[in-house]
Each structure stands twice: as structure tokens, then as C-alpha cells.
Structure 1
Amino acid sequence: MVDGGEETVDVLKQMSLSGYANGGVFCCLFVVSCFTNKYVLSVLKFTYPTLFQGWQTFVGGLLLLVSGKLGLVEMNTFPRSAFLSWFPGSLMFVGNIYAGSRALSRLPIPVFFSLHNTSEAVTYLVLRLTHREQTSFLKLSSVSLLLMSAVSLSLLDPQFDPGGYFWALMHLLSVGGYRAFQKLPRYSHLSDLEQQCINYIFSVLLLAFAAQPTGDLLAVFSFPFLKSYKFQSGCCASALLGFFLLLSTVKLKRSFSVEHCAVWVFAAKVVTAFLSPFVFDLVVNKPLLCCLLLNSFGEALLIYSK
């Protein structure tokens, strides 16, 4: 019995170490992926989101399908009805990545994260209206803090960019709606990878059709960095990092509970926001710093309330 107990303890320790290793890999990939996207969008000023996101989703979808065929990831085949019924979710996913690219190209990373966190309020309102979801006082307080800090940011940001905040608003609405859509019971049979595979396929098609009406397809030929080694390597790196971040996120969810995964995501965003001023320009004053800290506290409180 003692030997059996010791073996159980050893297994639990190994599982714990493996889980923390997965969390560390996730945080590293998250930071590098965010910085790479920000570099391509802001420093190189590649402001053609239909092409940038179309490239990322094409590479991600291709790698995911190949990985599934080779048995490197667990992804089951799904009926055409499930594929078509997920279309509203894919539309919100496209809105998420398109508006997110627009916003990230114009806003500092800490500000972008703070506005992104407000999507939790959108999810809360949707679930409250559609499912009559009961809410604790702690969760209501955290959502209120997120909203208050986001509104304060728009008033106190010394680098206020109306276009950036507009696209951030579109982004957080898409993210909040998509998160609520994922919680519908009829889609519980689709795994995270299967959902993402459908998103990738729809995204490539939708963004390819949108490239001409938005003018991105013609304008990209005048982009000065098109033949630059930095630009080419940055775009390739962003697509590959996005795919590996997806796999790392799925692996993280298998190692921890939903609540503990949220803690790792929170930690990754805090590290990214803290390091970003050392890499990218950011004008910070006391009111802005207070808003950012208030938003982080609201997110931490939301995680604790769950």
C-alpha cells in the first residue's frame, strides 16, 4: 500500500511538472506571437488585414489539416451540418481577427489588452439575456471594473486614436459574441481544434473575397517592404507562431481546469504588457497607468469569481 501511495504521488508530481511546463511554453509563445504581430502591423506598417489574416489562417488551417491526417493531433471528422451550423461563429471569428489586426496596428499592446478584456462584459450580457445566467456579486463587480476602466482609457489615453478605439470596439464585440456562441450546448460535440479548423476554412474564403472590395489586393503591391527579408520572415513567423500557440492552448486546457487556464492566460498578458514598452513606443502617464492597473485587477477578480 505504501509503494502504491508513493507511485501515485510520483505520478501527480510528474503531471504537475508537465502542466507547468505546458504553461511556460504557452506564455513564451503568447509573448513572441503578440510581439511578432505588433512588429509586422505597427513597425512595418503592413495595414492590410484581409491579406495578413488570410495568410495566417491559410497556413494555420493547412498545418492543422495535415497534422490531423498524419495523426499528430486528435481531430475527428464532422458532418456537413455541423460545418454549416458553425457559420455564425466563423463570421464572428473573422470579425475578431480582422478588427483585432486593425486595432493592434494602431494601439499599444497594454491598451489593446485592456480593451480586449472588456469582451467579458459582452459575453456576460449575452448570456444574461439569453440564458438568464445567475451572477454573483463578485462577478458583477469585476465586469463593472472592466467596463469602467475601458471607458476611462478612452478619455485619459494621451495617445488616443479614434480609429484604433473604433476597431477595438468591433474586436471586443466579436470576441464577446463568439465566446457566448461557443457555450451553446449544440456545439459541445465539437472540440477546440475542430472549431478552429472550421474557422480557418471559412476565414480563408471570406478574407479572400474581401481582399478586392477593401482594396488590399491592389494596394499591397505598392507596399515598400514587400520584398524585405524582415517582412517575409515576420509574416512567416507570425503564421507559424499562431499555429503553435493554438496547439499550446489546447494542450494547456488538457493539463488544467478552465479556471487555471484563465490564470495562465492572465499571466501571459501581464508579462506581454509589462515587456512591450521595452520593445515598442508607449506614452504612459499616471491616469493611464491607473486605468491599466484597474483593468488588470478587474480581470483578476473575474477569474477569482469563477
Structure 2
Amino acid sequence: MATVKDTIPHIIRTAEDPRQKGVWSARLSKIEQVNPKIRLLRLSLPRDGPPLRHLPGQYVDLYVPNIDVVGGFTITSPPQASSQAQQDPHIELAIQISPDNPPAAFLWRPESEILNSTLSFRIGGNFVYPPMTLKRTECESIDRVVFIAGGVGINPIMSMISTLNEAGTTRVLGGMPKHVRVLYTSRRERNPDGQAAEILFENRLKSIAENWNTHQQQVDYQYAFFETSEPSSVGAPKPGNMAVHSRRISQNDLLEALGSEDGRANTVVYVCGLPTMTDQYVELLKNAPGMDEKRVLCEKWW
């Protein structure tokens, strides 16, 4: 059953969000089928066009030809990918199949019908890293960031993690804080042949965790994946800085991710997922000892 929020168009639901001035055009240059329900799209930007400087976690208001409804889709790539210094400046979107959403339905048409289409978009959103809720000096003092995602709620968080990963430990450029915790929960779909399908960004997140496992003296990076599929296909926890669990994220998992109570003054938390999950986790985290509620940020998807 659809919730009330389902019936509110993206452009109205996000009307109070900040938006950048200007409209950009891009070419749909690549389509990757992640699993039966999710596609990854690359929108390539002209190298001689206006520069795009989005923040990690922001979304696009997407204008699809001959469709009156404006689509709202989170950018999953880091801002570095859209730089005109790149060979192929672009943004990436992860689109979940949704026949009742006209822009999403267009982006799920056969590849031959939409590849190389020209799409226009604006940039918006305030669920970004570093937080807009903090002063610059407070952002510079962040030494622990906790990312918590459920399902396609990983989209804005993927952009944030990728941004930190590419910046490395150069803090002046917005690099990795001293402590990073990533908690991601999702079901695993089945391909038409019955085989287990890939989960959105699972390989990318694993690769980033492996990278920082070799730099633990510089950054304490821990990644935990919680698979809720039934029957479970999860194996034993992995060595190093990665763990895989066959259950939901628990209250203890959340509190452990925050670290010790006396060290939470410079911690920020990002939560993105289904409304029920997000509300429950945010309430717990905001009221955790040592946490300031302005340091717990959330975005819901419906």
C-alpha cells in the first residue's frame, strides 16, 4: 500500500530544499543492470559546458523529454567525477524500477530506446557531507562519521563515502575522518535464473573497506553489511575491518558505531532508508548520551 508521501510529487515534497541556480544538460551514455530492480545510469556532461559542483549527497530534479512530472534521483557518484578535468565528466544515478513513476519508468525502457538521450536537471538537497547544520569550525573538527543505510538509502551515502575515499587523508580537502563506521542493510534479490543477485554497491563498498584496511593507522574504517534475505545466504563474518551479518541492524550496533560516550562531541551520523527504520534509528541516536541532535542527519525515501 502506498503511503501518503507516495502521492506527493518530488518537486513539491522537496520545495523547501536549497537548490543551485542553473540547469545542466547531459547525455545518457551508459546503463548497467545491477539486479532485477535497480539500474545504474551514467549521465555524461559536455566538457565545454558550465561546470557542475554538486555536494556529496545531493539529488537532481530530472527533466525527461515529453514527461511533465519532474523526477527526483540522488547522485551516487562523488563530485570529483563531474569535474571537467576528467576524461568523461559525469554524474551517476541508481534508479529503482517504478512503473508508476513516469521519469523512472522512462529510465527503465529498453536500452535501445533511451541510450544517448539528452536529459536536463537541476541540483538540490541539504542531506550532504559535511553537514549544513554545523559551523565550518565544527565541520573541521569532525573525527568520527557514522553512515547507516537501508536498501536504496545507500544512494546519497555512497556519494559521501566515495568523496571521502577519493580525498584520502587530506583533511583540508574534506578527506577521511579518523574514525568511520558504515552500516548497510538490504535484502538480496534473485535473478530470473534463480541465482542470488548483486546488491546495490556491495562490491564498491567492499573495495573501499579493503583499501582502508591497509591504512588502519591513519583511519579506523569499519564496514558491516546486514543481509535480511530469507533464507539467508550470509556466511561467517569476514576478517579485518569488514563484517557480514544475517540479521537486522540492532540497537547495540548503532550505539557501538558511535564510539565511547566521552568521544561523541565531534561525531556526525547520517541515516537514510525507509521512514520507519529511519525514524527509529534517528530517535535512538539523537538521544544517545553525548550526542547533539544537530549532528544526526537523516533522509527518507518512499
TM-score, normalized by the shorter chain, greater than 0.5? no
TM-score range, shorter chain: under 0.3
Which protein has the bigger helix share?
A: 1
Which protein has the bigger strand share?
A: 2
Which structure has more relative contact order (CA 8 Å, sep 6+)? It is: 1
Q: Could you tell me the TM-score, scaled by structure 2's length? A: 0.26
Q: Max radius of gyration: which structure? A: 1
Q: Could you tell me the TM-score, scaled by structure 1's length? A: 0.26
